Amino acid sequence: MKALIMAAGYATRLYPLTKDKAKPLLDVGGKPIIEYIIAKLEAFKEIDTIYVVTNDKFHHQFEQWAEKFAYHKPIEIINDGTLSNDDRLGAIGDINFSIQQKKINDDLLVVAGDNLFDFDLAKLKQFSTDKKLVICTYDVGDLALATQYGIISMDAAGKVVLFVEKPKNPPSTQAALGIYLFKKEAVPLIAEYINQGMKQDAPGYFIQWVYKAEDVYAYSFDGTWYDIGDLASYEKANELFSK
């Protein structure tokens, strides 16, 4: 299994904090966000390599971080070659770029680099045993708040039956987390999606396409989750994790 941490965004909503520093490298509670994510990846002992895909602007920062960060598994930094928010590849574009660059032909766990959470990924591992593609969700518990996220509806078995990006009238409060588990046979779906000329920006576009073509399951986590999208959420997360 391979892990891919998505860290190629420019986080303009967090300026000036992220004007000269990548968001996943921002300190929360005394250490970079990305190190919390890597600690959670330990639930998957099968992971033999962790890839971090970033952009040309912040590539050197991640290289410097990786040199100093003592870890027992290989961490490889992938430079997608973009220089600004205007020429970015988008989340799906970056996943595809990483798969092609590293010739990934294995199970793949994809995690957004701005995710802060305290739940155990071992539960995802158990849930996904017999499933080809799993999307993780979190119950934001409020319909008004749900309008800000990609929202998933699922049946009793957890199979995705509907996905809507930032709906005006949310069908549920289950928000997509930015954690995706692809079994080896599902990895080519990314290239198939790209080859059909679909949008490569937000992962929600891929979810909208794939659940209609394949059986996709959702696993809902309980616990604490922070989507570090603006200064307010960053400050709130920093306060909590500092304790």
User: What CA–CA distance (Å, rounded) separates 109 from 113?
Assistant: 12
In this predicted structure, the answer to whether residue 33 has a pLDDT above a threshold of 90 is yes
Mean pLDDT of 38-43: 93
- pLDDT score of 154: 92
Q: State yes or no: pLDDT of 11 exceeds 90.
A: no
Mean pLDDT within 189-214: 88
Q: How confident is residue 162, by pLDDT bands cut at 50, 70 and 90?
A: very high
Q: Is the pLDDT of residue 229 over 80?
A: no
Kindly provide the residue ranges of all beta strands, DSSP E only, lying in the chain, ordered along the sequence.
Answer: 2-6, 27-28, 31-32, 49-54, 75-79, 108-112, 115-117, 133-139, 150-154, 160-165, 174-182, 217-221, 225-227
d(CA 63, CA 53): 11
Domain ranges of the chain: 2-135+178-185+215-242
Q: Identify the band that residue 173 occupies on the pLDDT scale cut at 50, 70 and 90.
A: very high
pLDDT at 117: 85
| Structural contact between residues 229 and 114, judged by C-beta atoms closer than 8 angstroms | yes
Which comes out higher in pLDDT, residue 16 or 104?
Answer: 104
Query: What number is the average pLDDT over the span 81-103?
Result: 90
Q: How high is the pLDDT of residue 51?
A: 98
Mean confidence (pLDDT) of the chain? 90
Taking the C-alpha atoms of residue 197 and residue 218, their distance in angstroms, rounded to an integer, is 25
- Which structure tokens are listed for 119? 């739940």
pLDDT at 103: 95
Distance CA 237, CA 217 (A): 29
Percent of residues, the chain, with pLDDT higher than 70: 100
Looking at residue 148, its pLDDT comes to 87
pLDDT of residue 227: 77
Domain 2-135+178-185+215-242 homologous superfamily, CATH: Spore Coat Polysaccharide Biosynthesis Protein SpsA; Chain A (3.90.550.10)
* Confidence at residue 147, expressed as pLDDT on a 0 to 100 scale: 92
pLDDT (0 to 100) of residue 96 = 94
Cα distance between residue 67 and residue 64, in whole Å: 5
More confident residue, 64 or 230: 64
Count CA within 13 A, CB hemisphere, residue 214: 22
